[in-house]
Amino acid sequence: MSFVMMKMMKPELVSGYIFFAFAMWAIMMIAMMVPVVIPTLIIFRQINKSGELLLDSAMFLGGYFAAWFLFALIAASGQWTLHYGGYFQAMSFSVRGSVAGLLFIFVGLYQLTPFKNACLARCQSPVSFFMNGWRDGRFGAFQMGLSHGLFCLGCCWMLMLLMFVGGVMSILTMAALSTFLLAERLIPSQSISRFLPATALILVGIFYLA
């Protein structure tokens, strides 16, 4: 981790910085999203009648994380942009107060959008997701994993930007976000899973700006 931090202290070395930042974000996405995707993977294994259950499960996860690795590349590029532009606080890899406030507000507002609601509904109902879009075979498992990953990405990508507030290498921030993402999928009440967090995020953002 210290080696990666050292490489990311030099934003003028663009390709090297983005490579190591991407590797870090990819590892973080695996650590944060494995607990979130486990319930869906269990249902996939229960529905799948293939004899290659282990391989099909691996293909499903491969498709799922392909979507998140794409986000990791975009996040790494965004991190370099913020760092090169002087918006990061020294050593903490976190954004300054006003930028943090705007991020909280944008994330809170995104929680209330119809697009967020549509993606969350797909993530909350994995049985319905599989029944409406089941594909046989290993490539079918990869396609379903990718499709589910894209819905998950549409649901969560703005929340992931809060890593820029808590620090992109903060274990505590990762744990808090992963716990919230899992709870968001398991709690059916929209007032608890969407509206209350959205209100809290917007209020925190206003506090930061003030």
Total count of domains within the chain = 1
Q: Say yes or no to pLDDT of 4 above 80.
A: no
What is the mean predicted confidence (pLDDT) over 197-201? 91
Q: What is the mean pLDDT of the chain?
A: 88
Who contacts 54 (Cβ-Cβ below 8 Å, separation ≥6)? none
Residue 106 is predicted with a pLDDT of: 95
pLDDT band, very low/low/confident/very high, at 190 (cuts 50, 70, 90): low
CB burial readout 33-62, b (16+ within 10 A) else e: beebbeebbeebeeebeeeeeeebbebbbb
Residue 187 is predicted with a pLDDT of: 81
pLDDT band, very low/low/confident/very high, at 51 (cuts 50, 70, 90): low
Tens-digit pLDDT profile for residues 71-119: 999 999 998 988 888 888 766 778 878 889 999 999 999 999 999 989 9
Residue 1 is predicted with a pLDDT of: 66
Which one is predicted more confidently, 116 or 10? 116
Q: Say yes or no to pLDDT of 188 above 90.
A: no
Which one is predicted more confidently, 126 or 50? 126
Taking alpha carbons only, the member of 32, 30, 31, 36 closest to residue 183 is 36
Distance CA 106, CA 6 (A): 31
Q: Say yes or no to pLDDT of 203 above 80.
A: yes
What is the Rg, in whole angstroms, of the alpha carbon atoms belonging to the chain? 18
Residue 139 is predicted with a pLDDT of: 92
Residue 62 is predicted with a pLDDT of: 96
Note down the domain range covering 173. 2-209
- Please answer whether residues 136 and 52 qualify as being in contact, where contact means their C-beta atoms are separated by less than 8 angstroms: no
Residue 110 is predicted with a pLDDT of: 94
Residue 31 is predicted with a pLDDT of: 92
- Please answer whether residues 129 and 41 qualify as being in contact, where contact means their C-beta atoms are separated by less than 8 angstroms: no
Name the one residue in this structure whose structure tokens are 């996860």.
61
Tens-digit pLDDT profile for residues 115-166: 998 999 888 888 888 988 888 888 999 999 999 999 999 999 999 999 999 8
